[in-house]
A and B are shown apart, each in its own frame.
Chain A
Amino acid sequence: MSEEVTFWYGCNVLRHGDIIHSCLDILRALGYEPSPVGGVDYCCGTVKDANQSAAGGMATRTVGKLNARGTPVVVWCPSCHSHMHEFMQQGAERRFDMSYLVELLHAKRAQLAPLLLHEVPLRVFLHQHVGFNDLVPVNRMVPELLALIPGVKVLEPTYTAPGYMCASFAALPKALEDIHNNTVRAAKAAGADAVVTIFHQCYRELVGLDAAGAISVYNYIQLIARSMGLPYEDEYKAWKRAGDGATELIGAERIAKVGVQFYERAILPELKKRPKLQNSDPGS
């Protein structure tokens, strides 16, 4: 009998429907019955540093909703996971077991390995940060998961970015530019075909490198999904690569759901944004 779990995916990973759907299929293949929850109504409140009344209210609401589900919770988002540990469960009593998805997959890697049937011929460079790794040792576990995939060669990581994920650098453009450039430089010097991110917040930022033609970029779950033969298309990457052409790819019907004005003001500029790159030739 499969074990019921709540898959708390977070907010911003909603840009990447393929990641959410793949995680659910992977959990099912490992014997779980996942119920996904996320989005604004399950926000952890970590973005509300400037308003702790709001953050506390969000913590109480979200912990209460997760308590009411009565199942263990598997977390995708590193911000939600660390905010739960550091703040939310101090503001509201947590009554459920919680694990981070990487931890769960790593613990189940003996069951995961035989599901990885398709070869993924890639030399990959892991994009890692110094933060969060103290809570969950993702910088060790994710390469060990990637190494299970036939054809994947995980290269020695020679660059570790500051912070705990890239999206928190949105207000620090010089630091983000350094992260982009150092990542490309180190990946190319190592002979990588692709950069692989652990977190969706890094993927969202670094996929701009792919769109700019600097280097291919994937999230680790996308490579596991590919090896399992899961069918989900990475639409966000297609939209990023297309830039202005994203409008045609998304289509009028879906754009109408979010509103044309909002799409043009708040979505399209993100899809057109490209990283500022210096010369990334490792020989230069």
Chain B
Amino acid sequence: MSTRAPIGQRLKEYEQQEAERILGACTRCGKCYEVCPMAQYSKAPRGDSKAVVGGVLAVLRGEAGTPEALGWIGVCTRSGVCVPACPENVNPKMMMRLARMTALGGRDRPAQLTPKEDPDYFDRVRAFAKLQLTDDELKEWT
């Protein structure tokens, strides 16, 4: 009897491999935090760059993040200026995205940040489709 893999299993395995790669490659130099144009919008006080990155890595390991790290994770909007700033090819943009997924509880770990999902998100998309497309277009295009 064949057993079906749980929904999203392959993606989760990729994310875990990436998290382990990042944990092994990052030297906590803090350059990614220093160049980030969004760090100024964090509600947490600005921290020492090496310590903030250490907090992000803790989140990736499934541990509790520091307020400074969680504050930074919460304001990441994928600017990507951290990527060329990283001397170790860590891909800090991926590091932050995975940390965000983890902190929001999306990777089977307890949530440390409150998800701000819009409950009307998909219904609003459906509604605008009805306002903007003909019935035939709705049927064939969506």
Chain A contacts to B: CB under 8 angstroms = 11-12, 14-17, 20, 36-43, 47-57, 59-60, 82, 86-88, 90-92, 129-132, 134, 162-164, 168-172, 174-175, 235, 250, 254, 257-259, 262-263, 265-267, 270
Contacts and interface: CB of A to CB of B under 8 A. Distances in A.
A56 B130 contact: no
A163 B78 contact: yes
B125 A172 contact: no
A254 B131 contact: yes
Contact of A267 (B6, B8, B15, B127): B127
Q: Which A-B residue pairs are the 8 nearest by beta carbons?
A: A56-B8, A91-B11, A17-B132, A163-B77, A39-B142, A56-B11, A50-B115, A162-B37
13 contacts: A15-B132, A40-B142, A49-B100, A49-B104, A52-B108, A53-B7, A53-B12, A57-B8, A87-B14, A91-B11, A258-B130, A266-B120, A267-B127
Given A134-B80, A172-B41, A50 B128 contact: no
Contact of A54 (B8, B14, B37, B105): B8
Main secondary structure of the interface of B (DSSP, over half): helix
A122 B119 CA distance: 39
B111 interface: yes
Given A36-B140, A59-B11, 4 more contacts: A38-B141, A38-B142, A56-B10, A267-B124
Interface residues of B, number: 51
Contacts of B122: 11, 40, 43
A175 B77 CA distance: 10
A104 B26 CA distance: 36
B44 interface: no
Contacts of B6: 53
